[in-house]
Structure 1
Amino acid sequence: MSQKNETTILALALLLTVGIVGGGFWWFTKNGVKLGNTSISNQEAGGNSSLQDRISFGEKSFTPSDISPVKKEGVQAIAAKSYDKAIANLTAALKLNRNDPEALIFLNNTRIGSSKSYTIVASVPFGTDPNISLEILRGIAQAQNEINTSGGVKGVPLRVGIANDDDNPEIAKQIASNLVNNSEVLGVVGPNTSDSTLAAGTIYTSGQLVAISPTSTSVKISNFSRYVFRTVPSDFMAARSLANYMVKTLQKKNAVVFFNSQSNYSQSLKSEFVSSVSLEGGEVSSEFDLSKADFSAAKSLEQATKQGAEVLMLAANTATLDKALQVIQINQKKLTLLAGDDVYTAKTLEVGREQAVGMVVAVPWHIEGDPKSDFPQKSRQLWGGDVSWRSALSYDATVALIEALKRNPTRSGVQQALTSSEFFASGASGTIRFLASGDRNAPVQLVKIVPGSRSRTGYDFEPVR
């Protein structure tokens, strides 16, 4: 491919990316939260803002500044402890935008008022990735709403706080210290990335406060701590499924991997895939680091082709997704595409479009993966559209904490319940049980990009049957 053509494709991809981010697009929303500037700027995210500005039970909003006036009034009413006014405002706000999980969490908190409650906190990256934060919060909000509308945890309602950690390991540690020192907090859902979970996990462990990550997949989290759990399968499971699919189903033996050496998740998925392909009788002939300043999608693909590669495995993380999308565009469907769960985004469908059709992605859950589950119907009813795997696994993390609270509503009681061999709870993605390693023993779902209308992009992720 000529340098001119490569430049044209990259420019188009960049324009599409800018358009999507600016428009705040996400596929399961009918009247989505508009994405503008978050309440905490990226400059402030570097650590200049007060830690208290990063944690809210309703008195401040982390969604963008152009939220509806009625929601803004509701948040101000909570801060002023005018709970009746806040309930009216937030109820009206949800009628305007039913798929705003922050508003639903604040509404349920406000209904509790100053009454006795059990408290958990979500640690999410609102300042850097509001879409992923909203996905995670949808699962938490749904679980909170279900337990509180059915009488609470043995009569006691669940209060949920939201902490904005920006997917920054240092900020995640500061938030962890704050939550550990707040004796009312009995559990944490999060953090999002493996790097933040590993960093904050040391603080949660020393403070004996349970954290359940719904989205951190690095193999380093296995056996990391008796206080750190996850409802998402580890990268070992995803890598094994992709390698098996490549060698057994596709009958292909030679792959190259694109990864980010600066990301724990990306390194983990890459290493596990290399090992799994080797065990299946294939080989990974090259590894390309997306984080390098001189990375070139065109040169990497040229080298891969010369080495006889049949498959491109994209172990990109969120920070390197744009470069992975460049690889998809320049590949022009010549080599088969495989990918890890961070590539499962609306942006991949929008930017990849026809060039991404046929790509197989390993995810922990898909809304059409289990016809027997009632969670898809309930979530569609609540939010007015489909939810992602992040919502389902966040729901499961919250349900696990609720079940543990039912058994013993103390920090030590929650930890003992989750580590018990007798513990189980029913979640969105089946039964929730934890191994001694803190991992959940659960399979992954392979999905494929196909033309479709469900996502409103012209393309969908559908389960590989």
Structure 2
Amino acid sequence: MIESPNNSDTTRNSAPWICQGISANSHPEIENWGDSCMFPGCKNNREDLSKAKSISPSSNDRKLKPILGIALAIVASLGSGLYLWQKFKPCPEGQEKLNGTCSVIDKPESQGSAPGNSTDQINLVPRTNNNTLTTPIPFNPEWISQSDRVLFKGNSNKYRDNGIEAFKQGNYAVAIKNLEKAVFSDRSDPEVQIYLNNAQASFQGSPLKIAVVVPVENKETSAKEMLRGIADAQTQFNYAGGAGGKLVQVDIANDGNEPQRAQTIAQKLASDLNILGIIGHNSSSASEIALFEYEKANLAIISPTSTSTSLKSNYFYRTVPSDEITGKKLAQYADQTGINRVAVFYNPHSSYSKSLQNAFEAHFQKLGGKVSGSIDLSDSNFDPRQQIQALQGRIDAIALFPNTNTTSVAIGIARANTELSAQKLPMIGGDALYSSQTLNNGGSAVDDLVIAVPWFATNQPYAEQANQRWMGTVNWRTAASYDATQALLKAIAASPNPTRSSVEQNLRLVNLVSSETSGEPLSFTNGERSGDGVLVQIAPGALGKPREMINGFKLIEH
């Protein structure tokens, strides 16, 4: 679990104060609620009245620049820590507990989980996709927040709640005041940072609008990881003045990684003509079904996490390598390390899992390797121990390509491999296994597992900045989401009066240098980003491992 920040400095005094630095080392005015100035490198404190002046918390002459200055200070100055979350709760309706984990299998008649009831209906159009009939479900307003509701309901934050109420009433100055405090109260929460940025954008007037779709339900950790990168890009864009004097507002939608809900949400977002672009979705299955709706509305989508090779469209972009690239990289690694026979475990009902399985097998066989079996992880009769026993002597390695809903089954295979094999077989896997769940539930059984991921934090300037801002080591989902948002905002800013059409056209021309991204240049060719990602390995004592765990991830190949 992420450690709570030390908030003692922010609670000793209730009145804020303004700091501008000193004449030899000045900085933009920022408002501080703690006793020490939050601007990086500034050593001023509340009591030094010769350098800072007290102000009333009810002051109405707040300027936007100081407000944005504090956001920049937060980005650069907060201390580092480590975070990894794991969510334990009863399974929602429509899911089953599988090896201790709630799982949703992408079946034609899946109903998903829809909290609450709603009379807010939109036009629902059945969609046939990859031979799977998908019927959208009724829209629930609880799925989308325009800074008017809490999506991550696990933590209480009275300042956040007060800020949301003020925002709903159009009292943006009061919303800003409360949301600033909310950010200080929970420095790892990206939702409150985005709401603060949105309040500032509305205070400025006529904000530019984009939307992000993440799986708040079912994959809360991944959702927060994505939102951290989005919040970073939004903060920087707004602090720099936005585009044409307009700041950006980010609406947040929760699709729970459920394709039917994703399609309904996509229809709703597409019907809001103020939305200029979409960041998301998380899972390839959700992105694939939602893409159909965005295409009809001429609305561009950039996914930081969807890698399936079936995702192709003039309106689809991504900031991660496709499964074709990842499958090839893993096949080459297997070949180079002397692996000749592999058993592949995957979920044929998942667009991502099946895509990676196909790509790996094609490239591995092309290199002379043999696939000794392609085994369905989602089979209700699947038994990891029986599978490993049946494969004894027939394979040299195991390839684990679960989707996010079958990772627990893959971890069960790793355990069986450790317990039953005379000599533990090498294992390779897809990026769905790059998570705290793998480390926590797998323990020593997943040691030496090699995973292909799009990005890994080393000494990139963005990684160092983001680690400080969010009080923990960020991963590839945060970096790819930052890059996706940077690209979308660049496309928006390229036109004096941006439209959906201009944004889509400008995305084709985006060319970001490494200083504008998480570390690598970014441009698109037919919607794809160049680059093939990196390989990491789970190892005991790896640098940057979660504090409460024995093992972590280490970089083994660029």
TM-score (norm: length of structure 2): 0.74
Q: What is the DSSP-based 3-state SS (H/G/I as helix, E as strand, rest coil) of the residue aligned with 2:179?
A: helix
4+ runs of 1 displaced by more than 6 Å?
23-26, 31-34, 40-43
Q: What is the DSSP-based 3-state SS (H/G/I as helix, E as strand, rest coil) of the residue aligned with 1:113?
A: helix
1:272 aligns with 2:359: yes
2:170: which partner in 1?
81
Q: How does 1:100-249 map to 2 (within 5 A)?
A: 100-113=189-202, 115-221=205-311, 224-248=312-336
Partners of 2:259 and 2:285 within 8 A in 1 = yes
1:57 aligns with 2:57: no
| Closer, same or farther: CA 264–25 of 1 in aligned 2, 3 Å | farther
1:324: which partner in 2?
410
CA–CA distance in 1 between the matches of 2:144 and 2:500? 20
1:111-149 deviation digits (Å, cap 9, x = unpaired)? 122502211100111122111110110110000011111
1:233-280 deviation digits (Å, cap 9, x = unpaired)? 1011111111111111x1111111110111010001111111111111
Aligned sequence identity (%): 33
1:17: which partner in 2?
none
1:258 aligns with 2:350: no
Name the structure with the higher helix share. Answer: 1
Matched residue type, 2:546: S
Residue 151 of structure 1, CA deviation = 1.4
CA–CA distance in 2 between the matches of 1:216 and 1:376? 22
Partners of 1:32 and 1:99 within 8 A in 2 = no
Residue 70 of structure 1, CA deviation = 2.4
**Aligned mate of 1:412, from 501, 508, 512:** 501
1:68: which partner in 2?
157
**Aligned mate of 1:311, from 371, 375, 397:** 397
Residue 82 of structure 1, CA deviation = 2.7
CA–CA distance in 1 between the matches of 2:166 and 2:425? 56
Matched residue type, 1:180: A
1:45 aligns with 2:134: no
Q: What is the DSSP-based 3-state SS (H/G/I as helix, E as strand, rest coil) of the residue aligned with 1:229?
A: strand
1:387 aligns with 2:479: no
| Closer, same or farther: CA 382–195 of 1 in aligned 2, 3 Å | same
| Closer, same or farther: CA 67–47 of 1 in aligned 2, 3 Å | closer
| Closer, same or farther: CA 111–34 of 1 in aligned 2, 3 Å | farther
**Aligned mate of 2:522, from 432, 439, 444:** 432
Matched residue type, 1:392: A
Partners of 2:84 and 2:546 within 8 A in 1 = no
**Aligned mate of 1:297, from 356, 363, 384:** 384
Residue 48 of structure 1, CA deviation = 4.2
**Aligned mate of 1:340, from 430, 436, 443:** 430
2:17: which partner in 1?
none
CA–CA distance in 1 between the matches of 2:246 and 2:186? 28
Partners of 2:86 and 2:436 within 8 A in 1 = no
1:33-82 deviation digits (Å, cap 9, x = unpaired)? 895879x9988527845532211121101002432222222222222323
CA–CA distance in 1 between the matches of 2:82 and 2:477? 18
Bigger shift: residues 114-123 or 397-406? 114-123
Bigger shift: residues 156-165 or 91-100? 91-100
Partners of 1:128 and 1:166 within 8 A in 2 = yes
Q: What is the DSSP-based 3-state SS (H/G/I as helix, E as strand, rest coil) of the residue aligned with 2:525?
A: coil
| Closer, same or farther: CA 257–206 of 1 in aligned 2, 3 Å | same
Matched residue type, 1:265: Y
CA RMSD of aligned residues (A): 2.3
Partners of 2:84 and 2:436 within 8 A in 1 = no
| Closer, same or farther: CA 264–212 of 1 in aligned 2, 3 Å | same
**Aligned mate of 1:359, from 449, 452, 468:** 449
Partners of 1:259 and 1:270 within 8 A in 2 = yes
Report the count of equivalent residues: 432
1:212-233 deviation digits (Å, cap 9, x = unpaired)? 1110001111xx2111111111
Residue 344 of structure 1, CA deviation = 0.3
Matched residue type, 2:552: D
| Closer, same or farther: CA 251–434 of 1 in aligned 2, 3 Å | same
2:19: which partner in 1?
none
Partners of 2:85 and 2:436 within 8 A in 1 = no
Matched residue type, 1:70: Y
CA–CA distance in 1 between the matches of 2:307 and 2:212? 17
TM-score (norm: length of structure 1): 0.88
Partners of 2:85 and 2:221 within 8 A in 1 = no
Partners of 1:29 and 1:99 within 8 A in 2 = no
Matched residue type, 1:259: Y
1:161-204 deviation digits (Å, cap 9, x = unpaired)? 10111111121111111111111100000011111111010110
Partners of 2:342 and 2:396 within 8 A in 1 = yes
CA–CA distance in 2 between the matches of 1:428 and 1:123? 21
Partners of 2:114 and 2:140 within 8 A in 1 = no
Matched residue type, 2:383: S
Partners of 2:82 and 2:473 within 8 A in 1 = no
CA–CA distance in 2 between the matches of 1:34 and 1:356? 17
1:286-345 deviation digits (Å, cap 9, x = unpaired)? 1111100110101111122142x1111100111111111111111117100100000000
CA–CA distance in 1 between the matches of 2:86 and 2:235? 23
CA–CA distance in 2 between the matches of 1:349 and 1:327? 14
CA–CA distance in 2 between the matches of 1:441 and 1:272? 17
CA–CA distance in 2 between the matches of 1:182 and 1:251? 54
Matched residue type, 2:390: Q
Partners of 1:45 and 1:127 within 8 A in 2 = no
1:454: which partner in 2?
545
| Closer, same or farther: CA 125–310 of 1 in aligned 2, 3 Å | same
Partners of 1:55 and 1:164 within 8 A in 2 = yes
| Closer, same or farther: CA 94–34 of 1 in aligned 2, 3 Å | farther
Q: What is the DSSP-based 3-state SS (H/G/I as helix, E as strand, rest coil) of the residue aligned with 2:310?
A: helix
